[in-house]
Every structure is written in C-alpha cells, then in structure tokens.
A = this chain, B = another copy of it.
C-alpha cells in the first residue's frame, strides 16, 4: 500500500470546478489530490499567419506554474527572459494532445487559446492540465456553438492523461510529488475514449525499463484514463452530446 493509503492502481481524488472564472468561455479548476491547475479555453476569431485563408483553425496551449505553486518559490519566466524548458515541453504536449481530437476544418478560422496555470503543484501537473483543458475546451466550443452553431462539431472524441511509474514495490498509478521524486521510471499516458494512444512519453533516466515493465505501466495507464474519462463524462453530462462517439 502507498503512503497515502491508495492502492497501486488507484488515482487520487479528482475534483473539477467548471466556470471557476468568468471571462474565459471555458474555465475549469481541476484538482488531482493536492495538485490544482486552472485550465481555461478562450476562442479568438482569427488564426496564426500560417493558417490565414486556409479555412482551418488552431488550438494552442500555454502552461506555467505560479511562483508560489511549488515548495521553493519558482522564479517567473520573465525574470529570466526565457521560457522554462520544462514548460516548453509540457505546453507542446498539451497542444498536440488536444489537437488530436479536433477537426480543425470544422473549427473554422478560429484559435482556441488553452491556458494551464498551476495554482498548486503536487505531481502530475501536465496530465491534470490535459484532462482539465479538455473539459474547458468542451465548454468553450459549446459556448461558441450556442451563438453560431457549428455545421460539423469540431470535437471528435475525448482525451485524458495520467502518469504511471515504477516504484520500489512495482508499478503505480497517478504519482504525487513524493512518489514522483522517488520513482525510477515514469511515463505519461494520453488516451482517447476508445482506449487508443494519443501520446506516450516514458522516461527511464534513473534506470531503463523492460518490455515487461512497459506492459504493466500501459495497463495501469489504461485503467487510470478510463477512470478519468468516467469522471469527465459524469461532470460534463449532456454537454458531451455533440461529440459523435
């Protein structure tokens, strides 16, 4: 059993507060245990240069941690005049993951700006960001849809993400900060509603992992994503209605 009493295949307590703020069309505070990320989606009626005139839209993501979100204060990027390397990596992942379930032609020449701002970090912020941002994206697209209905609804499925890792006592699901720090291998599994992989990122910086361990990690990742997607389905209820599963 784990330090916080969870079983190895159990996620932390999940909570999602939709409409957490009022200006963004989609605004969700997602909490996975003590990890809290504000995920927002704002729709802008224009596209980046490379898509002008293409009829296609874009989804882009930014990720940042508030200075007070970590145990030791984290300097703001602007103080160093450079975007944090880890944040760059994460926001590119969030963007790719969300675009994977989008029909960008159906979106039309619009940009959806996803912002994932970590209010409190306790492990798994990038995965929480993806899952929370998906819900914000649904809310934002529905807000647009209400005003000017989409011919084809631009969302084609669900996406969620969860971390898994190999600990001294074996593979575990949804690592908190303490577990993450002591893990030898960790992996982020991003899946759609069919249990297919959107993205897989496994890192064995501490020690490599075997094919057998990979199998165990993937099984946990699938379990976790299904739990998350069930939670998302309950949270969104009929608001998921326009996706054609």
Distance of A191 Cα from B206 Cα, bound (Å) = 14
Interface-lining segment among A2-10, A63-71, A232-240: A63-71
Contact A68 B88 (CB under 8 A): no
Q: Specify the chain B residue showing the minimal Cβ separation from A89.
A: B89
Q: Which candidate, A124-132, A145-153, A196-204, is the interface stretch facing chain B?
A: A196-204
A202 to B23, CA, bound (A): 28
Nearest to A120 among chain B residues (CB) is B21
A40 at the binding interface (Cβ < 8 Å): yes
Give A120 to B92 CA distance when docked, in angstroms.
24
Residues of B within 8 A of A71 (CB): 23
On whether the beta carbons of B67 and A115 are closer than 8 Å, the reply is yes
Q: Name A38's contact: one of B78, B96, B119 (CB within 8 Å).
A: B119
Q: Is A109 an interface residue (CB 8 A)?
A: no
Copies of this protein in the assembly total 6
Known A-B contacts A44-B73, A88-B85, A92-B89; the reply to A68 vs B208 at CB < 8 A is no
Other-chain residue from B34, B62, B66, B210 in contact with A197 (beta carbon distance below 8 A): B210
Q: Pick the contact of A96: B78, B205, B211 (CB < 8 A).
A: B205
CB of A16 closer than 8 Å to a CB of B: no
Scoring A residues 113 to 140 as 1 if CB is less than 8 Å from chain B, else 0, what string do you get? 1010101110000000000000000000
Q: Mark A31-45, 1 if CB is under 8 A from B, else 0.
A: 000101010101010
* Residues of B contacting A40 in the complex (Cβ-Cβ under 8 angstroms): 66-68
| Complex-state Cα separation, A93 to B96, whole angstroms | 18
The 10 closest A-B pairs by CB, nearest first: A196-B208, A40-B68, A77-B78, A200-B202, A24-B68, A88-B88, A21-B120, A42-B73, A67-B115, A96-B205
